Every structure is written in structure tokens, then in C-alpha cells.
Amino acid sequence: MKLSVVLNEGPYQHQAADTAYHFTRAALAKGHEIYRVFFYHDGVNNGTRLTTPPQDDRNIVARWSALAEEHDLDLVVCVAAAQRRGIVDESEQKRHGKDANNIAPGFRISGLGQLIEAGIESDRLVVFGD
């Protein structure tokens, strides 16, 4: 089955961030296709490479990046939600004259249209959050 995942909550704050990852991994292991993972609301915070969790804890951002590399996943961070919360890639940095960027490897910033398109193109859109 062709699936897309939506993650609406931030890492460490909310179980949804973990569950979305475990679901995605399990779906891939079962042979399903993940068309896209879309990060919205505080979910965009899953895409900052500047996160530094304690060493004895899981690294939620790094494990998304690793999964993306392994399976060529499309991890999309919503641009409007990202701008509000300070998630920045190189082009956003230039566009808004910021002094840094922080997007993690494997993630890209794009519009909400990517969420709608994922809903249209996928057999199921699975949403994680409250």
C-alpha cells in the first residue's frame, strides 16, 4: 500500500513524534511504500539538526535522517509552520536574511500543497498527533 504520514507534534514533547517514526519504519519493513512524511504544527521541530538530546536518550531527529537516507524518504517540513518556529534551510535563510540555518539532513522545506498532494496520491494518509 502507498502510505503517507503526517506528524503534528514536536520531538520529546509528545509521544506522537516517536509513534510516527515507529509506524513509518514498521510500514517500510512490511514492504509498504511511504510516499511522503509531512511535518506540521510543532511537528516541524523534528527537522532541526541542532537538537542535542542526552546521550542515553534516543535522537529523534537523527533517526529520521538515517531512515530517510536508507529508504530515500521524502521528509517535508511545512514552510509556513517552519517560519513561525524558526526551522530554516539555506534558501529560506537567504530569502529572509537570517544568520543561520538548521534543517537536518534528509528534510526539505515546502508548502502545504505537499500535504494535500500526499492525501490525493496515497492510499492512506496516517496522522499522528492529538
Partner 1 sequence: MEPSPEEYEGEEYAGGVVKKFMYVNRRAPHGTVYAQEALEVVLIGAAFEQDVSVVFIDDGVYQIKKDQDPSAIGTKNFSKTFRALEMYDVEKLYVEKESMQARGLTEDDLNVPVEVKTSEEIGRLMEEQDVVLSF
CB-based contacts of 67, cutoff 8 Å, min separation 6: 21, 24, 25, 28, 73, 106
Q: Which is nearer to partner 1, 48 or 122 (CB)?
A: 122
Q: Which is nearer to partner 1, 67 or 82 (CB)?
A: 82
Nearest approach, Cβ of 126 to partner 1 (angstroms)? 11
Nearest approach, Cβ of 74 to partner 1 (angstroms)? 16
Nearest approach, Cβ of 11 to partner 1 (angstroms)? 17
Q: Which residues are catalytic?
A: 78
The H or E element that residue 101 is part of is none
CB-based contacts of 21, cutoff 8 Å, min separation 6: 60, 63, 64, 67
Q: Which of 33, 80, 86, 95 binds partner 1 (CB under 8 A)?
A: 80
CB-based contacts of 80, cutoff 8 Å, min separation 6: 111, 112
Binding of partner 1 by 5 (CB under 8 A): no
Identify which range of 16-24, 54-62, 87-95, 105-113 contacts partner 1 by CB under 8 A. 105-113
Return the number of other C-beta atoms located less than 10 Å from residue 93's C-beta. Answer: 15
Q: Which amino acid makes up residue 101?
A: N
Q: Footprint of partner 1 on this chain (CB under 8 A)? A: 6, 40-41, 80-81, 84, 111-113, 115-117, 119-121, 125, 127
